[in-house]
A and B are shown apart, each in its own frame.
Chain A
Amino acid sequence: MSSFLPAVAQQLFRDIQKTYEETSQIPDDLLIALKFIFGPCVLQALDLVDQHSVTCLSSPSGRKAFQVMGGSGHLYTCFESCHYCPCPAFAYTVLRRNEGLLCKHILAIYLCQAMGVTQQESVSDQQMSVLLSGTAIPDT
């Protein structure tokens, strides 16, 4: 997924990962850099991280996806390798207005991955397909 980020953002997450491994904190200078690059959704994303809202789902085939519990209690399924979120903010701010790189849910995923605090959960291959497609698979 990082190939969808500009190089400066990729480096920032690497720095966060390294620092967090050593100190279990994100220092002020990195927080300021996060705000500078990603804007106002940073605080909301950090809240989601604090609430352990990000789960990495994996299925027996090896396929993975992320689920993020939003502030409203809605579960959003995001992809492992590229930026997509079904939330209204992604549709409006990123896709329609082209004013942001990502929404708070995708940012929370990056932060959790960098900090090593992503929850893990297993699902079946069929459940994974349903989650990825965002539709219900009819009985066959």
Chain B
Amino acid sequence: MADILTLVFRTFMSQEATAADPPPPTAGGGGALLVGDHSIGRSVLLLAAVTAASELGVRVVFFSQTPIQSVPVSLQKCVPSLNPESLKKIKFSYPGTAEELLQQVASLHESVCPPPPSLIVVDRLESYLCAPGHPPGERSRAAHLSALLCDTAAFCTQALQQQSSSSAPCRVLASFQSDCGPATDPVLDVVDRYFQVRCSLTQDGGYEAAAAGLQQLWHVCLSARGVTDAKDCEDRLGVGQQWQLLVFPGGLLEFKLV
């Protein structure tokens, strides 16, 4: 999954950047979890969805509790080639509760036509999973939903590869904002088990952003999680890389490899 994120980052790098041509998406499956502020997380999720639909031409399912009324202006500025045909490849769905989300993800296998999605996005997992006081059963619910996402992606991968042996695997991309800190959040600890890569988004608290005339500056770090081959992750998925996300006045987004 980090390969889609890395593709997003490289696609929206500044033209002055000296990085090499973006690598083609590789066959790395699994999931990536964006951990950080939900507003910037949502922007990155939308960018990933639009990039997957327009650049890779794949179907995307985007789950969120909050309806998306229109394409954000910042996204339109970032992707001037955005067109209705690309947007048609993205199905937006707004389950209100964890039960509804479970039902909708569990039902994805039922549709034979159109083909299964290649990217499953969940905005703000914590809004479905976390309740004040961490009631009993919260961890189990987090494991159920995360495992269902993981298993559904594995099924979609198999279905896609039956249709075309050269199909890339289905990927899961979700965002999570922790209220009690990523290091001590019990729900995040459970969710982490099922995601191969964590993408941490941390806002820069110094003066660098203001000095550069930016609205915001974010540090983006990809790290490997779970039972996985860390070296393989580094080689194929860009794990271990650090990026900066620059948000300009007016909402334009740009990524810079550190």
Contacts and interface: CB of A to CB of B under 8 A. Distances in A.
> Is chain B a partner of chain A in the same complex?
yes
B109 A61 contact: yes
Interface in A125-140: 125-126, 128-130, 132-135, 137
B102 interface: yes
Interface residues of A, number: 30
A32 B156 CA distance: 38
B159 interface: yes
B76 interface: no
A132 B154 CA distance: 14
Given A3-B227, A62-B158, A135-B102, A84 B109 contact: no
Given A63-B109, A134-B144, A95 B155 contact: no
Nearest to A98: B189
Of the listed residues A4, A5, A6, A90, the one surrounded by the most CB atoms of chain B closer than 10 A to its CB is A4
B112 A95 contact: no
Contacts of A86: 140, 144
A81 interface: yes
Contacts of A95: 139-140, 143, 190
Of the listed residues A86, A91, A128, the one surrounded by the most CB atoms of chain B closer than 10 A to its CB is A91
Contacts of B159: 61-62
A129 B151 contact: no
Given A95-B139, A129-B103, A137-B103, A59 B109 contact: yes
A132 B148 contact: yes
Interface in A69-89: 79-84, 86
A63 B103 CA distance: 15
Nearest to B227: A4
B140 A125 contact: no
A128 B109 contact: yes
Given A82-B150, A135-B103, A61 B112 contact: yes
B107 interface: yes
Interface in B66-122: 99, 102-103, 105-107, 109-110, 112
Contacts of A134: 102, 144
A56 B97 CA distance: 29
Contacts of B110: 61, 125-126, 129
A19 B201 CA distance: 49
Interface in B134-190: 137, 139-140, 143-144, 147-148, 150-151, 154-155, 158-159, 162, 186, 190
B105 A133 contact: yes
B194 interface: yes
B151 A81 contact: yes
A132 B110 CA distance: 12
A63 B107 contact: no
Given A61-B110, A129-B110, A133-B103, 19 more contacts: A3-B228, A59-B109, A61-B159, A62-B162, A80-B154, A81-B154, A82-B154, A84-B144, A86-B140, A86-B144, A90-B143, A95-B139, A95-B143, A96-B186, A129-B106, A129-B107, A129-B109, A133-B102, A137-B107
Interface of B: 99, 102-103, 105-107, 109-110, 112, 137, 139-140, 143-144, 147-148, 150-151, 154-155, 158-159, 162, 186, 190, 193-194, 226-228
30 contacts: A3-B227, A4-B227, A5-B227, A6-B227, A61-B110, A63-B109, A64-B155, A79-B151, A80-B155, A81-B151, A81-B155, A82-B147, A82-B151, A84-B143, A84-B148, A86-B140, A90-B140, A91-B139, A91-B140, A96-B186, A125-B109, A126-B110, A128-B106, A129-B107, A130-B106, A132-B102, A132-B106, A132-B151, A133-B107, A137-B103
